[in-house]
Structure 1
Amino acid sequence: MDSFQASCWSEHEELKVVMLCAPTILDVTDSTIAENVGWSATVNHVKAMENFMELKTTLENAGVKVIDYSKELTNDEKTVSEQLINRYFVRDLACVLGNSMFLGEAGSSLRRPEYPHAHSLLEKWFPEKLNKQPSTALECGDVMILNKDAVLINIGMRTTLEAVESIKGRIFQEGFSEIAIIDLPRRSDTLHLDMNCNVANANLVIAKNFMRYFPVHVFTAQTNRFAMTEQFLNRHGFDVYWLEKYNTIPDINFINLNPETLLISKQASKEQWTKHPLLQKKNLIEIEVSELEKGGGGIRCMTLPLLRK
């Protein structure tokens, strides 16, 4: 792998390097199996791989370096890894905050084997960047960089308050001045933070409208206080585009390729991209990921940014 320094200070600046993982070689063959593994429908692995290759190729065509970590595993690791049905949701495994890598900890036993596979590679690639893995669950789909000052973290089904407490000091050391903790409903459609809101522009967050009723616990290195979600976001320069109607995964779970361009699912509701003046100016690249989305996550879940300019 070509050497580079991992660094991310936002969700919207130019994406330069991203980690992915190819989907499982297994089919999910009937609705009962899908229900038991937490998926919405049956999945054909050939179609899933076609979706993955479209995602990978689109990123590369946009000038993003793509690392598929499944290709870097040992033969013994591959024997297990290729049968892990959720392994392509790499966002949860780790996150880069500022100039440091923070390792996640699985909040589900079904996903636990993925973490040491990916972490062993990250430890090899970024030995001086890594922070100690938390002792309790921290899935990084619950972590969102707002800007160089603020990070928003959800505690809920897959991330614990204890895990956030264990890393917040190091986040402050990176230079972020505030960490806001929100506690969202514990359901499959609100599983992670990025199934409820997302950064769509340097000054715009898209969010499900129920979030306006939720407070956040705001920490600085020395103080803490409570605020409402919109108040906190406004203070950090963000307007909020509240969605009253939405299809959770395709409408919320997108990724910024650069300040002008969003990578979105072909299943996303077109209406939301025409109503807000800032979104009307965006270059939207649509890709087919519907087979992968049946696993319960979207484009943001499938991408782990390692470097944003």
Structure 2
Amino acid sequence: METDRKIRVYNEIGNLKTVLLHRPGGEIENLIPEHLSRLLFDDIPFLKVARSEHDNFAKVLSDNGVEVLYVENLAALAVKDKEVKASFLNEVIAECFVEDKETAKLLKDFLLQLPEKEMIDKVIAGTRKKEIGLSEDNDDYPFIMEPMPNLYFTRDPFASIGSGITLNSMKNNIRRRETIFAKYIFKYHPQFKNSNIPLWYNRDEEFSIEGGDELVLSKDVLAIGHSERTSVEAIKKVAKNLFEANESFKTVLMFDIPKSRAFMHLDTVFTMIDYDKFTVHEGIEGNLKVSAISYDAKNKELLIEEQEDSLERILSKYLEKDITLIRCGGGDRVISRREQWNDGSNTLAIAPGKVITYERNYITNEILDKHNVNVLSIPSGELSRGRGGPRCMSMPLHREEI
């Protein structure tokens, strides 16, 4: 076990060594139909099956030599100190928008008396009003602290880039608390606190950015989607911080993608699966608007070259090789839309040409196999109800360089 863990992510496909997950918990069973949209869900997964599927996902990773860490376990160890625990709760409760000070105190006292792991699980699952002695009878919404069902998509709250992370400012208030776990893990966990991991962006920034929009294409090229949830201003700030830190990246490609839930993040549009292969959502075929951001070190300013071209030609130009795009569902009008709904383009590469996918996207999986991609497919009947695939459910902390 490492004593001072480092972040090492300079590509999307190198052998995956360490990954961060969250095993779905009570937050899933605290979803209720009339409040699904505020929690960014379309349906309610069956927790027992979702956990079984997630455990299988973790086993596939472990069986392929990947060290699996869990957000909830790291966070529990990070807040063992009494003062740190209290500070953590202050931040979490402040972002629950509990306006009454006495109610906030009741909530904090209730959570403080729990052992650290139980407290972390309760913060994630949500706290009902009746648990702190308040009535739920005349209120449509029974939670004083809302559940965090999106946390099993660990890709979004922060993103590993090079030797550091973006600690993200989430677009939706319901997801902002998710980033507090990463903040405390990297600041106070025994294996991270002395590692001096740089922040390329911080959670208290004004403009939003989310990890699903951040793809490390190579040690030289970073792609970030200007999406429904990631703003131009945030992308420019990340780029400037990376360039000024003398990381290896020479270009940040800002992809302008449709601002809709169907194109939620860049990694729902395309993912890298081999040195020269990408899965792609047919909805972005045709010309794309892309801004290539580089840096003038002498004048300390960003240089932005706007261009419009196909995804294939843009990727070929900046990765300096011929690129093959593999359409989700083979581009069939019905199949592609069905499999894209279940994240057929959201693959997780664990080595060059070796990917984890959802087994329900069997047409796309067959096409990948025909392109000599080693496909490890996993059950996802319940996990996929959250609208995120294997890449969404995983945050690499360490990949081998390629």
Q: TM-score, normalised by structure 2?
A: 0.71
Q: Which residue of 2 aligns with 1:224?
A: 304
Aligned to 1:2: 2
Q: Distance in 2 between matches of 1:291 and 1:66?
A: 21
Name the CA shift for 1:279/1:175 in 2 (closer, same or farther; >3 Å).
farther
Question: 1:171 Cα shift?
Answer: 2.3
Post-superposition CA distance 1:225-259 (Å, at most 9, x none): 12323332011125141522422243111101111
Distance 1:81 1:273, change over 3 A: closer
CA distance in 1, matches of 2:267, 2:31: 28
Higher helix share: 2
2:339 is the alignment partner of 1:233? no
Query: Quick check: 1:307 aligned with 2:390?
Result: no
Counterpart position of 2:357: 264
Per-residue deviation, 1:28: 5.9
Structure-2 separation of matches of 1:160 and 1:145: 18
Q: Separation in 2 of the partners of 1:57 and 1:275?
A: 25
Contact persistence 1:205–1:238 (CA under 8 A) = no
Aligned ranges 1:102-117 → 2 under 5 Å: 102-117=166-181
Which residue pairs with 1:79 in the alignment?
A: 122
Residue in structure 2 matched with residue 195 of structure 1 by the alignment: 268
> Secondary structure of the residue that 1:225 maps to in structure 2?
strand
Q: Give the 3-state SS of the residue equivalent to 1:55 in structure 2.
A: helix
| Cα pair 1:38 1:296 within 8 Å, conserved | no
| TM-superposed deviation, 1:94 | 1.4
Paired residue for 1:207? 280
Distance 1:8 1:238 in 2: 23
* Separation (CA, whole Å) in 2 of partners of 1:279 and 1:18: 28
Q: CA separation of 1:101/1:162 partners in 2, compared to 1, >3 Å: closer, same or farther? A: same
SS in 2 for 1:92: coil
C-alpha separation in 2, matches of 1:290 and 1:123: 36
Find 1:133's aligned residue among 165, 185, 202.
202
For 2:68, the equivalent position in structure 1 comes to 66
2:153 matched to which residue of 1? 89
* Number of corresponding residues: 307
Deviation at residue 283 of structure 1 after TM alignment = 1.6
Query: Match of 2:48?
Result: 46
Residue 162 of structure 1 pairs with residue 237 of structure 2: no
Paired residue secondary structure (2:343): helix
Residue-by-residue CA offset, 1:286-308 (whole Å, 9 max, x unaligned): 11123111112111111000000
Q: Deviations over 1:75-104 (max 9, x none)?
A: 343321133111111101212212222211
Instruction: Call closer, same or farther: CA 1:268–1:225 in 2, change over 3 Å.
Output: same
Amino acid across the alignment from 1:145: V
Deviates more, 1:294-303 or 1:33-42: 33-42
* Matched residue type, 2:65: G
Deviation string, structure 1 residues 166-198 (Cα, Å, up to 9, x no partner) = 111232321111111112112222111111111
Instruction: Indicate the SS of the match to 2:273.
Output: strand
* Residue matched to 2:259: 186
Q: How high is the sequence identity, in percent, across the aligned residues?
A: 20
What stretches of structure 1 of length at least 5 have no aligned partner? Answer: none
User: Structure 2 counterpart of 1:184, which letter?
Assistant: I
For the residues of structure 2 that align with 1:87 and 1:286, how far apart are their CA atoms? 22
State which structure, 1 or 2, has the greater radius of gyration over its C-alpha atoms.
2
Distance 2:156 2:41 in 1: 17
Q: Secondary structure at the match of 1:2?
A: coil
Would you say the 8 A contact 1:106–1:158 is kept in 2?
Answer: yes
| Aligned 8 A contact 1:55 1:289 in 2 | no
Go from structure 1 to structure 2 and tell me whether the alpha carbon gap of 1:102 and 1:279 turns closer, same or farther (over 3 Å shift).
farther
Bigger shift: residues 187-196 or 30-39: 30-39
User: What amino acid maps onto 1:104 in structure 2?
Assistant: N
